[in-house]
Amino acid sequence: MSKPKSEERKSAGTTRRDFLKKTGAAGAAAGAASLLGSAALMANTENPDAQTTWAEWFQGNYRLMTDEEKKESVARLEKRYSAQFGKKVTVDDAPAIDGVLFGYALNIQKCIGCRRCVKACVKENNQSRTNTEIEWIRVVRMEKGQFSAGDMDKGYPQEEGHEYGVQVGGNAYKPAGVVLEGKHYYEPEKVPEKDAFYFPIACMQCEKPPCVKVCPVRTTYREGDGIIVIDYNWCIGCRMCIGACPYWARRFNWGEPNLPADDMNPNTHYLGNRPRMKGVAEKCTFCIQRSRRGRYTACVEVCPVGARKFGNLLDPESEVRKILDRKRVFRLKAELNTYPKFFYFID
Amino acid sequence: MQSKIRFPIDFFSYALKGGAQYYAWLGFLGILIVLWAVGTYAQLTQGMIITGLTDQTSWGLYLANFVFLVGVAAAAVTVVFPAYFYDQEDLHKVAVLGEMLAIAAVVMCLLFVFAHMGRPDRLWHIIPVIGIYNWPHSMLTWDVMVLTVYLILNLVGGFYYLYKKYTGSPLNKSFYIPLILISCVWALSIHTVTAFLIGTMPSRPMWFHSVMPIKFITTAFAAGPALIILCFLTIRKHTALVIPDSVFHKLSHYITWFLGMALFLIMSEIVVELYPSTEHSFGLQYLMFGLSGLNKLVPWFWTAIFLMVVSFGLLLSPLRKNFTVLPIICVMLFVGIWIDKGMGLLLPGMSPSPIGEVTEYYPTWLEIFVVAGNYAIGFLVLTLLMKGAVGVVLGDVKYGQSK
């Protein structure tokens, strides 16, 4: 497949404030990387895996690569993946499109908890299937509460002889209304269940992402279209991002990922669903391989009830923008000031 | 020039000589290092999957021990600072041993960081200039910076002193004293930054409070000198180095008050968290009483509290000056703080997870091998450095005297 010509974009780094500070260092690293990289390729080992591994070890961070280096890197990966999975695998390097800021809106009123989105995401994004099984979307089952008048006077604390008359009083041990304690492992016969509603979560693509701030090597960063991406080849596996994410959106490849060849999606993006390696973090990328080509994400496409909406926040006519304008919208853990671009709404 | 080449040779050939007991100790460490090799090999080939870590509890024993040992490294200051700032004569001679401890502790810290990394092969990515160093944004880069500088300060300070003793030339005070004082202030920075590392994440409510740095420093300045006392008692027993009683009294005096402050801060944290009992306190509740029926940490927590409170009580009593009881107190509080600041801090920060899931963490044997081995390597470094340093201080290792 011919690589899409990336326009003479300066660099993804221009969107970052301190790009200039890094340029010098990056230039040096990138220069050394391409030199050693081509040396390795010229070494002419037949095994594409060994070749790639060697070259990748010297490769710089994707964000700071020149177009030339990106092409080399992509070509290496295509060769390796094609050999590894026994089919033609493409690795896209489509950059962010100007004038696009991706946003997501999810109608929690409609979600039935079927988890088709979870499965579709796994299939689309080449997650490890077993040991360890990685899913980017978690659907949290929220239990509905019941109000039981019989518990009205069962105050707090309950121990006999220790009634201090603490103000919580009432039915402190049984919630009136909704408990809001979620579980993401649930196996009902049928969904939706009578006593539950569902709250899907995934990476919120924060505008002020804590994961990006804590990353010591800037392997995870915000792209111009607002997607937070990871250069899997630059990640050192320190898991600071996993600790810092308030939405538990990030997953770690504890072992070598298990991705069966016949189940592998060959249309990949460098920053998205290309097969990962052990010891690196990963997460939802708004299906960067699809969205940058003008397609819906896999979860939006598969949702049977139309609860999931996706589009360009900068386009006043887009569906997400209309939802933001007209519906009752909220964001998860808004108090943490992370400014997610993943919105929840009800009609 | 000749002396510079002879110094390491003389230093280590002295350090490697000892009696049967000494070799038995080194042999014991050697066995643990073999286990370390087994665990490390498995982890490097198969990945972190050989550990008990999960997406819920993604930081475990490795980082817990890292946090604890940063404190031990910082605690060298409790010997060095009074020696030079208040010019306490009895501490002068042993201050360099404190620096040796700091070096060994930082070595262990680095080993634990290495073990914690999913891709240690990509370590160069964090090296400034050739990699990307996300400074000042990333707290981890601050930690790398302060730890590296601290290691260098102690290596330079410690070995400069020993080398001068070795050649019998006088110290250049206008170089040495400022270096020592900088390293003392720097010691505070390493532990403060480590506290900031985990205390700046609102996603982990249990860690998200500003008492963390001072609590780290107080517990460090209790556990660290406890280890120093144990080392000094061993040295006093097995070598000719005379360490006066006053050194032990001073150190145990510092321990008493730092431990007291640590207990006070633990108490403050418990009151502030548990009184309103909001979601913010779930981590502490999990640690103290268990949550959602999961309570594996509960006995650990209460053991730690018991050890710390009892050792504090003993330290307040005249038993502090009894050299049979003192090492027992030191072991008790060292273990207590190791639990409190290691697993007792790291694990409840991870559980409940940001979406409220409580998870128990079971370290695997391979993981424990790596931990034990990291300690063994650190104690090997500590033993050799202290032995060599004692030789230099005693005058046994002297330029021109080697056979």
Q: Do A247 and B356 touch (CB under 8 A)?
A: no
Output the six-digit token pair for B95.
């201050």
Look at residue B90 in the predicted model and tell me its pLDDT: 86
Residue given tokens 């090296």 in the structure block: B127
Residue A250, strand partner residues: none
Q: Do B355 and A280 touch (CB under 8 A)?
A: no
Give me the CATH topology for the region B32-394: Formate dehydrogenase/DMSO reductase fold (1.20.1630)
- A129 with A191, same domain: the answer is yes
Task: Spell out the residues 6+ positions from residue B128 whose beta carbon is closer than 8 angstroms to its own.
Answer: A25, B135
pLDDT band at A47 (very low <50, low <70, confident <90, very high): confident
Which of B121, B128, B203 is closest, CB to CB, to A243? B203
Q: Is B331 on the interface with A (CB under 8 A)?
A: no
Look at residue A172 in the predicted model and tell me its pLDDT: 53
Residue A91, strand partner residues: A268
Q: Tell me: the pLDDT tens digits for A204-228?
A: 999 999 999 999 999 999 999 999 9
Q: Tell me: the pLDDT tens digits for B225-234?
A: 999 999 999 9
Domains identified in chain A, total number: 3
Q: Tell me: the pLDDT tens digits for B109-144?
A: 999 999 999 999 999 999 999 999 999 999 999 999
* DSSP of A225-271: TS-EEE-TTT-----HHHHH-TT---EE--BS----GGG---EEETT
Is A4 inside any structural domain? no
User: In chain A, positions 323-342, which contact chain B (CB-CB < 8 Å)?
Assistant: 336
- Pick from A240, A250, A258 the residue to mutate for testing the B interface (most B CBs within 10 Å): A240
- By CB atoms closer than 10 A (0-12, 13-18, 19+), residue B189 is middle
Residue of B nearest to A199 (CA): B355
Q: How far apart are CA B374 and CA B68, in angstroms?
A: 13
- A30 with A47, same domain: the answer is yes
ipTM given for this complex: 0.93
Q: Do B130 and A29 touch (CB under 8 A)?
A: yes
Is A83 inside any structural domain? no
Edge-to-edge strand ranges of the sheet holding A342-346: A308-312, A102-107, A342-346, A328-330
- A45 with A106, same domain: the answer is no
Q: What phi-psi label fits residue B21: left (phi over 0), alpha (psi between -120 and 50 degrees) or beta?
A: alpha
Largest CA distance in chain B: 70
Q: How far apart are CA B331 and CA B337, in angstroms?
A: 10
Residue A94 belongs to a domain with what CATH number?
3.30.70.20
Is-contact A111 A198, C-beta < 8 A?
yes
User: In chain B, positions 169-208, which contact chain A (CB-CB < 8 Å)?
Assistant: 198, 201-204
- A123 with A36, same domain: the answer is no
Is A163 inside any structural domain? yes
Is-contact A200 A139, C-beta < 8 A?
yes
Q: Is A108 on the interface with B (CB under 8 A)?
A: no
- A249 with A204, same domain: the answer is yes
Is-contact B99 B80, C-beta < 8 A?
yes
Q: Tell me: the pLDDT tens digits for A262-291?
A: 999 999 999 999 999 999 999 999 999 999
- A212 with A317, same domain: the answer is yes
Is-contact A96 A223, C-beta < 8 A?
yes
Q: Do B51 and A254 touch (CB under 8 A)?
A: yes
- A160 with A211, same domain: the answer is no
- A221 with A338, same domain: the answer is yes
Q: Which amino acid is at A296?
A: Y
Q: Do B356 and A254 touch (CB under 8 A)?
A: no
Q: How far apart are CA A156 and CA B287, in angstroms?
A: 22
Considering only residues A25 and B24, tell me which one the structure prediction assigns the higher pLDDT: B24
- A273 with A237, same domain: the answer is yes
Query: What ranges do the domains of chain B cover?
Result: 32-394
Q: Is B356 on the interface with A (CB under 8 A)?
A: yes
Considering only residues B206 and A11, tell me which one the structure prediction assigns the higher pLDDT: B206
Segment B148-160 mean pLDDT: 96
DSSP structure class, residue B171: P
Which of B117, B134, B140 is closest, CB to CB, to A237? B117
Q: How far apart are CA B84 and CA B181, in angstroms?
A: 8
pLDDT band at A46 (very low <50, low <70, confident <90, very high): low
**pTM given for the model:** 0.89
Residue ranges making up the domain that contains A157: 145-178
Q: Is B89 on the interface with A (CB under 8 A)?
A: no
Is A73 inside any structural domain? no
CA A282 to chain centre: 7
- A171 with A118, same domain: the answer is no
Number of inter-chain CB pairs under 8 A, A vs B: 149
- A235 with A328, same domain: the answer is yes
DSSP structure class, residue B294: B
Is A260 inside any structural domain? yes
Q: How many helices (H) and strands (E) does chain B have?
A: 14, 0
Is-contact A248 B355, C-beta < 8 A?
yes
Identify all chain B residues contacting A242, using CB atoms and an 8 Å cutoff. 55, 58
Q: Quote the minimal CA–CA distance from A194 to chain B in Å.
A: 22
Look at residue A37 in the predicted model and tell me its pLDDT: 46
Is A158 inside any structural domain? yes
- By CB atoms closer than 10 A (0-12, 13-18, 19+), residue A214 is buried
- A296 with A222, same domain: the answer is yes
Q: How far apart are CA B42 and CA A281, in angstroms?
A: 20
Q: How far apart are CA A9 and CA B101, in angstroms?
A: 53
